[in-house]
Structure 1
Amino acid sequence: MACGLSGGDKGYDSGAMLKLLAVAARELLLLARDRPGLLVLFFMPAILVIVITLVQDNVLRLTGQAPTQVLYLDLDGGVVGRKLAQQLTESGLQLVDPEAEQRETAAIQAAVADGTYRMGIVVPAGTSARVRQESARLMTKMTAGEAPELSGGLPVPVFFDPGILPSLRTGLNSRVAMALAAISVDQQLTQLNRVLDPLLAALPGQRAGSAGSVAELSELLKQPLLVADEQHGRGELPGSSPYDPVQQNVPAWALFGVFFTAIPIAGGLLQERTSGIWTRLMTLPVSPLTLIGGKLAAYLVICCCQFLLIGLIGTVVFPVAGLPAFTVSAPPASLLTVVLLSSLAACGYGILLGTLCTSYEQASTMGATSVVVAAALGGIMVPVYAMPPLMQWFSVVSPLNWGLNAFHDLLVRGETLASLSDDLVRLSLFSLVTLGLAAWKLRSCQ
C-alpha cells in the first residue's frame, strides 16, 4: 500500500486556488457518481428528521402536552356533571360525548379497554343529589357540635387504557382529582353559606345586605392569592414552547447527517491510497495541502446542502404534516458560522478515518459506529438532561454535543454568536487536531 507524500510541489504556487477548485470539482464529480453515498448523505437524514419529529410530536400529545381525548359520559345531568366537564375542559382535556349505544358504564369501559380511547369517565346518575345530601349531613353535624363521620367520598368511575404510558396516566388522574376536589369545596361552601346566612341575619344590629356578602364567600375563595407567572428564561425566544420538536430536531438530525459525510470522505481517501491514485497525484505539481483542501471544500459544500435540505423540509414539509414550521430567527452569518465549523469538524474526522483505516469495510464500520455512538452521547437521539449522570459526563466529549448545543443556543434560546464561543472553540480545535493527526499519519507513511 502506497501512502507517501513524496513528489509534487510542496507549497502553494500562483495557481494554488485554481488547483484547489479543480480538486474540489473532482471530489464532487466522484460523489455524484456514488448514488448509494448520496442516499446516505441526503436521503437518510431527511427521512430521520421527518420520522423522529412526527414520533416525538405524537409522544408530546400522549404525555399531556397536547389535548388528550377523553370519553365522558354524564349520567347525572346535574351540577357535578356540568362542573366536572367544565373543569376538565379548562385543564386541557378534549371531552368526547359517547354514541347512543355507548351510553352505559360497561360500554365506556370496553371502549377504553380496547385502546380506542386512553381514558373514560362516567358520572353516575344522582351524583349531584348525593353530594348535596352528604354535604348537608356533614354541615349539620358540625353546627350541632358533633364530630362528623368522614367517608371516603362518592366514587366517580375513571377508566384507563391498560397500555397507557404511566406518566400520562398519572397526569390525567391528577387533573381529575383536582377537578373533583374543586367541586367538593364548592359544594361545601354552598352548604356553609346556607348555615351562616340566617345566623348573621339574626344578629342584633346586623346591617341589611351584610348577610348577602356571605353568599359571595365561594367566589372570594376561588380567587387565587398566588399564581405561577411563567416567563422566558435568559435568551429564550418569545413564544417558544417548553419543548418544540421541530426547532430542536431539524438542526439535530441535520448535524447527524453532516457527520455521516465522514464515511464517504474516509472511503474515498482510502480507495485513493490503496489503488495507488494518491501516489500518482503526488507526482503532479500539486501540494498535498491542496488535495486535502480540495476535499474539505467539496464536502463543506455538501454539508451546507444537507443543512439547506433539512431546513427546507422543516419549513415546507412539516406544516403539511401538521407540525409547526421550522423558523430561523438567528442572523444568517451566525448560523453559517456554526454550520461551517460543524461541517469542518465532520470533514476532519472523515479524513482522519481515511488515514487510520486499512480497508473500506473497516472505515465504513468504524465511521458509522462512531458517529452513531457520538450522536447518542451528544443528545441527538435522547436529550442529555434525560441521561444517567455517567452518560451526561461522557456527553461532553462528543463533537455532536458541541454542535447541537451551539445550534440550540442560537435557534432556540436566542443567544448571540459570542455566547457560543466555548462550543465553537471546541469544534475548531477538534478540526485542527483531526487534520493534524491525519497529516502526521500521511507523512509517516512516506
Structure 2
Amino acid sequence: MLLYKLWRSFVKEILLLKRDIGGIVIIFVMPLLLIITITLIQDSTFKNLEGSKIPIIFIDNDKSEVSKNIKQELESSKTFELLTNFTEQSAQNAVFGGDYQMAIVIPKNLTKDINSNIDSKVQTIVSSFGLETDSSAVKKTVSKAKDIHLYFDPATNIGFKNNVMNAVNKMVFEIENKKIYKAFQDQLGTTENLEENKNLISFKEITPKKGNMDVMPNSVQHNVPAWALFAIFFIVVPLSINLVKEKSQGTSVRARISPTPYFIHILGKTFTYLIICVIQFLLMVAVGIYLFPYMDLPQFDVTGKMLQLIVVTLFSGLAAIGFGVLLGTVADTQEQSAPFGATSVVVLAAVGGIWVPVFLMPEFMQTIAKFSPMNWGLNAYYDIILRNSGIGGIAKEITFLFLFYVAMVAISLFYERKQNAV
C-alpha cells in the first residue's frame, strides 16, 4: 500500500513538473551551456598560451653578454614576443596603462659589473687556498648589485606574474652559475668544456599510467564533474519553489489531511528529482564524450568508471534534494526561496572548490570547505576520475552526503510538524 502511495506521489510530481516545461528545459540546458562555455574558455586559454606569443617590452641598456643571454632565453621560450622600440619611461606608461602585460628593463653595465664581482670573489676564494693570483685583482672594488626592472600591468593575474618572475630569476641564476664556473676555470687553468657541465639534478614528473600509456589530466576531466555537481545542486531552486507553491495553493494542507504519511510526499519528490539529477549528469557525460571531440576538446573518458560515477551522482542528488526540501519548507514565498536558493548554491560552490581550488583558500576557509556537501561530492568525483578510486575509496564522502540528506529532511519534517501543530 505504501508503495502505491509512493508511486502516486511520484506521478503527482511529474504532473507538476510538466506544467513548467520552460523551467525543466532551463534545468537541463543551463548546465550544458555552462560546461561547454567554461571548458572552451579554459582549453582555448591553454592553447593560446601554447600556440601564440604574449607581447612584452624588452629594453636592453646593457647590450652585452648577460642581456643577450636573457633575450635569447626569452625568445627561445616560445611564449613571448619581444618589443624593443621603447624607453623605460614609455614602457612604464604603456604597461601601467594596460597596453602590454609586462616590461623587462636590463640596467646599464650589468655584464661588466657581474664579471667584476664574480672575478673579485673567485680570486678571493682561490687566494684563500694559498694559490697564486693577481693581487691587484683581489683588491678590485665590488660593484653594487644591479636590479633588473620588471613592470607589470596592475590587472595582470598574480599567477602569471609569479611565473614570469620565477622564470627570470632562474635565467639569471643559471647565467651567473655559468660565469662563476668559467671564472674558476680561468683561475685554475682547467680546460674542461663549459657546455658539458650539465645539471646534476633535474625534475621528472611521474604520472599515473593506464597500461603503458601515461594518464594526463585535462580541463575536461576537471570541468565535467565540477559543473555537473553545480547543476545537480541547482535543482534546489525549482524544488524549493515547488514546495512554496504547494503551501500557497493549499496542496500541502490536502497532503497533511490525507491518509498518506507526509514523509511519503517527501520521498515522492526525492525520487522525482533524483531522476532529474541522473539525467543531468548523463547529459553532461554525453557532451564530454560525443560533443567535445568535435569542438577540438579532449574526450571525457569514463571507461570502467560509470557505475561509480552514477553512485556519486545519486548521493550528491540526495544532498541537493535535502537542502531544497529544507529551503522550501522554511520559506514562505517564492521571492524568498528563489534568490536565496540560487545564492546559497553559488556560495556552496565557491566554498566547495568549484570556483577556486580549496588548497588556494585561506586556512580557515579550507576548514569550512570540509563541511560543504559540494566539496564531498567533488572529491568523490575526482577520486574516481583522476585518482582511479573504487566505491571503497569514496565511502566516506557518500556517507556524509547521505547523512546530510537525512539531516535536512529530518529538520524539515520537524519544522513542518511544529508549524502545523494545533
**Where does 1:362-381 land on structure 2 (aligned, <5 Å)?**
362-381=336-355
Greater Cα shift, 326-335 or 24-33:
24-33
TM-score when scaled to structure 1? 0.72
Structure 2: distance between partners of 1:361 and 1:104: 57
Contact kept? 1:141, 1:148, Cα under 8 Å: no
Structure 2: distance between partners of 1:87 and 1:72: 12
Aligned pair 1:184/2:176, yes or no? yes
Aligned pair 1:396/2:370, yes or no? yes
Residue of structure 2 aligned with 1:117, choices 66, 86, 100: 100
Structure 2: distance between partners of 1:407 and 1:312: 16
1:408 maps to amino acid = Y
State the 1:427 CA deviation. 1.2
SS at match of 2:103: strand
Greater Cα shift, 429-438 or 275-284:
275-284
Name which structure has the greater RCO, CA cutoff 8 Å, separation 6+.
1
Cα-to-partner distance string for 1:52-104 (whole Å, 9 max, x where unaligned): 5566678889999x9855445679887545532443466x5613144xxx545
Residue of structure 2 aligned with 1:96, choices 75, 81, 86: 81
Q: Rg: which structure is higher?
A: 1
State the 1:176 CA deviation. 1.6
Greater Cα shift, 287-296 or 252-261:
287-296
State the 1:340 CA deviation. 0.7
Q: 1:149 to 1:171 in 2, by over 3 A?
A: farther
Greater Cα shift, 187-196 or 344-353:
187-196
State the 1:333 CA deviation. 0.7
State the 1:298 CA deviation. 2.0
Aligned pair 1:227/2:170, yes or no? no
2:360 maps to amino acid = A
Cα-to-partner distance string for 1:366-402 (whole Å, 9 max, x where unaligned): 4334333333332233333333333333333322222
Q: 1:61 to 1:181 in 2, by over 3 A?
A: farther
Residue of structure 2 aligned with 1:332, choices 306, 322, 339: 306
Structure 1: distance between partners of 2:93 and 2:415: 68
1:38 maps to amino acid = I
Q: 1:286 to 1:141 in 2, by over 3 A?
A: closer
Structure 2: distance between partners of 1:387 and 1:155: 33
SS at match of 2:80: strand
**Where does 1:291-370 land on structure 2 (aligned, <5 Å)?**
291-315=265-289, 324-329=298-303, 331-370=305-344
* Aligned residue pair count: 406
SS at match of 1:397: coil
Structure 2 match to 1:12: 2
State the 1:190 CA deviation. 3.5
5+ unaligned residues in a row in structure 2: which ranges? 125-132
Structure 1 match to 2:194: 218
TM-score when scaled to structure 2? 0.76
Greater Cα shift, 261-270 or 23-32:
23-32
Contact kept? 1:88, 1:179, Cα under 8 Å: no
Aligned pair 1:38/2:24, yes or no? yes
SS at match of 1:425: helix
Contact kept? 1:330, 1:410, Cα under 8 Å: no
Cα-to-partner distance string for 1:268-294 (whole Å, 9 max, x where unaligned): 233234323345567888675654443
Contact kept? 1:267, 1:360, Cα under 8 Å: yes
Structure 1: distance between partners of 2:153 and 2:402: 51
State the 1:423 CA deviation. 1.0
Structure 2 match to 1:207: none
SS at match of 1:120: strand
2:173 maps to amino acid = A
Structure 2: distance between partners of 1:151 and 1:57: 47
What percent identity do the matched residue pairs reach? 32
Q: 1:147 to 1:413 in 2, by over 3 A?
A: farther
State the 1:254 CA deviation. 2.0
1:375 maps to amino acid = A
